[in-house]
Amino acid sequence: GQSLEQPSEVTAVEGAIVQINCTYQTSGFYGLSWYQQHDGGAPTFLSYNALDGLEETGRFSSFLSRSDSYGYLLLQELQMKDSASYFCAVQHQAGTALIFGKGTTLSVSS
Amino acid sequence: NAGVTQTPKFQVLKTGQSMTLQCAQDMNHEYMSWYRQDPGMGLRLIHYSVGAGITDQGEVPNGYNVSRSTTEDFPLRLLSAAPSQTSVYFCASSGGSEDTQYFGPGTRLTVL
């Protein structure tokens, strides 16, 4: 089976940089994804890494090390609207649906 | 495009009742899946489908049935509702195994 570990909570102030780590165990690896979810809303896609290295999308970056079964999401220039839950996820064994971590709640204060 | 739609938005059931949560997508996606979300548990995969006529079990399939008769629709059936099935249910679709998953707005289900 698959399992993912990520911190349950992270706090930061506006303008700061925060890193959310994710370690995973999976029998077959098809990439690591990150999703954002605001309270009461649906998860939305942020980033995807299939290969080692850093992917940058605006203020958000995601990193993957397949040899360490580890990745992280880096959020820069934090804004209040970034307060949300962030989930890392790997493909299910059949490579078609996602297995999610339990999520990290990010609280950004002014 | 409406994307992924789910009905109803809210539902209250009594223990033992059955019901079907509806999910539809208009993006011609082959892959569809159902998740449930409980506080502190993240999203857990219930069932998924890789195309019409093909379904498979996820992490927590017990108590739920699915079918995929068309590309567009992927209903989730609760056979005999239990309080443990009180949760928020999300449906998602994607165009391929490495593609972005698009989530519906969710159905908030309470079983009394």
Instruction: Grade residue A30 by pLDDT with cuts at 50, 70 and 90.
Output: confident
Lowest mean pLDDT, pick from A20-24, A37-41, A66-70, B97-101? B97-101
Instruction: Grade residue B95 by pLDDT with cuts at 50, 70 and 90.
Output: confident
Q: How far apart are CA A76 and CA A69, in angstroms?
A: 23
Distance from CA of A96 to the nearest CA of B (A): 5
CB pairs under 8 A between A and B: 64
Question: Percent of chain B scored above 70 by pLDDT?
Answer: 98
Optimal mutation site among B98, B102, B108, interface A, most CBs of chain A within 10 A: B98
Contact between residue B92 and residue B100 where contact means Cβ atoms under 8 Å apart: no
Distance from CA of B18 to the nearest CA of A (A): 25
B27's CB contacts (< 8 A; 6+ apart) are: B1, B3, B4, B93, B95, B102
Nearest by Cα to B112 from B80, B81, B88:
B81
Instruction: Grade residue A95 by pLDDT with cuts at 50, 70 and 90.
Output: low
| Confidence check: pLDDT of B88 > 70 | yes
What average pLDDT does range A30-50 have in this prediction? 94
Q: Which amino acid is at A3?
A: S
